[in-house]
Amino acid sequence: MIDFSATTAFRLVRQLAVAGRDAPSIYLLVCETAAMGAVRTDLEAEVQVQLGVDLRSLSSAEVQPERLGDVFSHGTAWPVILITLDRWLPKLADSFDRNIVLLARSGTVLFVAGRDIAERVLAAAPNLRNRLTDILLITPDETFGDPPA
């Protein structure tokens, strides 16, 4: 089992703000399955407040491996895309791995997954793994005593 540094949505989005919009980044955020909804809500609120942009949120079922270009096309100055990997889809992981340049040019990409799915993605997608900005254990803001968003 891999141990990851812990963070919250507030702290992660603060890092994104400091890095700036010209620093494309890809994060794998690992969280408890039961907390995914709260983490997604926290991320949406923090991206809106701290970055002043809307978070584009999709589940893995909404992402078609053969149409990644549609997912990562953007019309905003700072695209922030959140993809919840709520089930293991080997073709999707392979597509992310083969299209890593597309992901890297897409602004900020946040993958949220449970520990088991995250470890499977890391094993199955070496190109993605090598281009990740960071892998973090993310929890809802209240867990660390941060005020709710």
Q: Is 39 a domain residue?
A: yes
Q: Is 149 a domain residue?
A: no
pLDDT at position 91 is 94
Structure tokens at 84: 């919840």
Q: Is 98 a domain residue?
A: yes
pLDDT band at 75; cut points 50, 70, 90: low
User: Which range marks the domain in which residue 38 is found?
Assistant: 5-17+24-144
CA–CA dist 36, 13 (Å, integer)? 17
Residue pLDDT, tens place only, 26-52? 999 999 999 999 999 999 999 999 999
**Strand, coil or helix: what is 132?**
coil
Q: Is 130 a domain residue?
A: yes
The CA-based angle 135-47-109, given to 5 degrees, is 40
* Domain total of the chain: 1
**Strand, coil or helix: what is 83?**
strand
For 16, phi then psi, to 5°, come to -60, -40
Q: Is 45 a domain residue?
A: yes
Residue pLDDT, tens place only, 51-60? 998 888 998 8
What pTM does this model have? Answer: 0.88
pLDDT at position 104 is 84
CB 135 within 8 A of CB 28: yes
Q: Tell whether the model's pLDDT for residue 5 goes beyond 70.
A: yes
Q: Tell whether the model's pLDDT for residue 99 goes beyond 60.
A: yes
Write the burial class of residue 101 (CB in 10 Å: 0-12 exposed, 13-18 middle, 19+ buried): exposed
CATH number at residue 113: 3.40.50.300
Structure tokens at 113: 């997954």
Angle 36-46/9-19 helices, nearest 10 degrees?
A: 40
Q: Is 37 a domain residue?
A: yes
Q: Is 139 a domain residue?
A: yes
